[in-house]
Amino acid sequence: MPLFKNDVPILEYDTSERSLFGIKAELQSLKLPKKAVYALLGSCIDEYAAARNAETAAVIPTITRDYPIYIVDQDGEEICLCQAPMGAPAAVQNLEILLACGVKQVISAGSCGVLTPMPENEFIVPVRALRDEGCSYKYLPPSRFVELDMPMTDRICSALGRRDIPFRRCTTWTTDGLFRETPDTVAYRRSEGCDTVDMECASLAACAKFRGADFGMLFFTADSLADLDNYDRRDFGVASLEPALRLCLDVIGSCDTEK
């Protein structure tokens, strides 16, 4: 199968599904439930698991910290619950492990910056992500956007609607240059229709598509870049951490298990 070469390495794409590097031997025999909440929600994931005496199925070891894979009971069904690391490569690495161990349906959640005026702690559902990072290009051929056109996205929107929780759909700008979100670039991304900025969405969606998994993302608004002259950190959306986790568990619990 061909390797498409390019003068710019990030635009090269290898169609081969064979990799020389796999998951650790101690994880290879691990069989996880098909459904997972894999989210960037800080300490509330560990706290939720501890409060419910959740089983730790395994631990993903990394050079910076270990990431427990919890098994929680959601209305009588076992669900994986795992913290996602910040940043696309780290988040995708651990997602690959979950998928290799049997996970097929994934909902993620985390904060996003806003590029246009929006209140803090508003729920946003990304339906496509601009690929201004590197990891997604290892999973899908080069393109400007990756579409989040998987069933999980519709389930998230339906769940919010049923609960009369206000939300909007958006195009998000996924970047790995946290400190290079310059005024000119922000203005350009706005002109392309981006309302939010994040660091993981495009890569997680690309990995899920490549592996044939169902993936969706739920954002809550945090800091604001809407005023190009005055960055507003606000409270970084901390009030939405627990509500987002509860919503993710409800959504994943209601999914069918066809896959």
pLDDT at 14 over 80: yes
Q: Over range 58-64, report the average pLDDT.
A: 93
Secondary-structure breakdown of the chain: helix, strand, coil percentages, each rounded to the nearest 5: 30, 30, 35
Could you tell me the residue ranges of all domains in the chain?
32-253
State how far the alpha carbon of 64 is from the alpha carbons of 22, 60, 85, 86, 90, in Å: 19, 11, 10, 12, 10
Q: Are residues 80 and 36 in contact, defined by beta-carbon separation less than 8 angstroms?
A: yes
pLDDT of residue 220: 98
Q: Which residues of 69-92 are buried (b: 16+ CB within 10 A; e: fewer)?
A: bbbbebeeeebbbbbbbebbebbb
d(CA 174, CA 189): 10
| Residue from 228, 227, 198 nearest 112 by CA | 198
- Give the per-residue pLDDT at 257: 64
* Residues 6 or more apart whose Cβ sits within 8 Å of residue 86: 40, 199, 200
- For 119-156, what is each residue's pLDDT tens digit? 999 999 999 999 999 999 999 999 999 999 999 999 99
Residue 54 pLDDT > 60: yes
At 203-227, the pLDDT tens digits run: 999 999 999 999 999 999 999 999 9
Q: What is the pLDDT of residue 24?
A: 77
Residue 13 has a pLDDT of: 94
Which run of H or E residues covers position 186?
A: helix 183-191
Locate 147 and state its tokens: 């579409």
pLDDT digits 0-9 by tens, 78-131: 999 999 999 999 999 999 999 999 999 999 999 999 999 999 999 999 999 999
Q: What is the pLDDT of residue 189?
A: 98
Burial class (CB in 10 A: 0-12, 13-18, 19+), 194: buried
At 110, list the tokens: 């985390």
Going by the DSSP 8-state scheme, the letter that residue 232 receives in this structure is B
Q: How far apart are CA 193 and CA 178, in angstroms?
A: 19
Contact indicator for 163, 123 with CB cutoff of 8 Å: no
* Assessment of whether the complete model's pTM goes beyond 0.85: yes
pLDDT band for position 27 (cuts 50, 70, 90): confident
Q: Which of 39, 29, 12 is nearest to 108 (CA)?
A: 39
pLDDT of residue 246: 96
Distance CA 201, CA 158 (A): 20
Domain 32-253 -> CATH class: alpha beta
